[in-house]
Amino acid sequence: MAKKNKEKEAQDLKEEPGKEEGGDGGKKGGSKTVLIIIVAGFVLFMAMAGAGFYILWQKMPGSSANSAMTSESATEKEPPSKGLGPIYSINPFVINLAGSGGKRFLRVKMALELKSQRTFEQVHAQLPRVKDTLLTILSAKKFQDINTVEGKSNLRTEIAATMGTLFSKGAVTNVYFTEFVVE
């Protein structure tokens, strides 16, 4: 009889692990579902976060998506259009903005519309003086001064007036920003 009891206990022990496997099988199926839900939630969260950052990036003032850029890089005379004077393009340059502690800078490329061909030749001959004057004007500006359309318009007016003191009054009839990036 002791043998029968031992055999019965051994058989019961063999059956119990089988029952546990069946029980674990149900738990594994449940844990797979939980894992799928967690992964799906994470993917959804990352998609929403990415969309939010994209929208915020587009609304930031001075972001590269909002700035106009051109591919011309040489200082050259562009052929005058009807009603325009000679245009002198100035290579792009980078300026640290005032009051930013070196954290904000401006990359600008501009073209100066001039009164005459004679003025064009004067600007070309005195290009270092012109660039120095532009750097002095631009490096004194703060981000708040040039962030708005009105600020850029005021900057155009100031540049044209200052160039008039270098050459002659009205020598620069207009200033065109062909690249204006603030970072």
| CATH class belonging to 77-182 | alpha beta
pLDDT averaged over every residue in the chain: 77
What's the pLDDT score for residue 40?
Answer: 95
34 alpha-carbon distance from chain centroid: 39
pLDDT recorded at residue 18: 45
pLDDT band at 7 (very low <50, low <70, confident <90, very high): low
Query: How far, in Å, CA of 155 to CA of 153, rounded?
Result: 5
Query: Between 101 and 140, whose confidence is greater?
Result: 140
pLDDT, greater one: 1 or 170: 170
* 99 vs 37, more confident: 37
What is residue 105's predicted lDDT score, i.e. its pLDDT?
84
pLDDT in tens, 121-168: 888 898 999 899 998 998 888 888 888 889 889 989 998 888 888 888
Do 114 and 87 contact (CB within 8 A), yes or no?
A: yes
The predicted structure's pLDDT at residue 69 = 39
Which positions ≥6 away from 72 have C-beta within 8 Å? 89, 109, 178
Q: Can you tell me the distance from the alpha carbon of 107 to that of 164, in angstroms, rounded to the nearest whole number?
A: 23
> What is the C-alpha to C-alpha distance for residues 95 and 118, in angstroms, rounded to an integer?
29
- Model-level pTM? 0.53
Average pLDDT over every residue of 73-95: 68
Portion of the chain with pLDDT greater than 90, in percent: 13
Q: Is the pLDDT reported for residue 1 higher than 70?
A: no
> What's the whole-number mean pLDDT along residues 87-97?
88
